[in-house]
Amino acid sequence: MSKSIDVDFSYYNPINRQQREFHESPARHKLLIGGYGSGKTYPAIHESLFHCFQNSRHEFLVARNTWDSLEQNIEKEFYRVARDANAIKSFKEHNMVLQNDTVVQFRPLTLGREQFKGLNICGYFIDDPDINKYAHTISFLDSRLRNSPRASASRFQTIITANY
Gap between the Cα atoms of 30 and 44, Å rounded: 9
The model's pLDDT over 86-137, given as tens digits with 9 standing for 90+, comes to 999 999 999 999 999 999 999 999 999 889 999 999 999 999 999 999 999 9
What residues have CB less than 8 Å from 114, skipping those under 6 apart?
Answer: none
Q: In the prediction, which pLDDT does 150 show? A: 87
Gap between the Cα atoms of 161 and 164, Å rounded: 10
User: Between 120 and 17, where is the model more confident?
Assistant: 120
The model's pLDDT over 50-82, given as tens digits with 9 standing for 90+, comes to 999 999 999 999 999 999 999 999 999 999 999
pLDDT at 3 over 60: no
pLDDT at 39 over 60: yes
Instruction: Describe the strand order of the beta sheet including 95-98 as a list of residue ranges.
Output: 29-34, 157-163, 123-127, 59-64, 103-108, 95-98, 88-92
Mean pLDDT is highest, among 15-19, 34-38, 112-116, for 112-116
Give first-to-last CA distance, the chain, whole Å: 49
Amino acid at 145: L
Band (pLDDT 50/70/90 cuts) for residue 38 is confident
User: Between 90 and 38, where is the model more confident?
Assistant: 90
Residue pair 88/82 in contact (Cβ under 8 Å)? The answer is yes
How many residues does the structure list for the chain? 164
Q: In the prediction, which pLDDT does 12 show? A: 82
pLDDT at 44 over 50: yes
What is the reported pTM? 0.93
pLDDT at 2 over 50: no
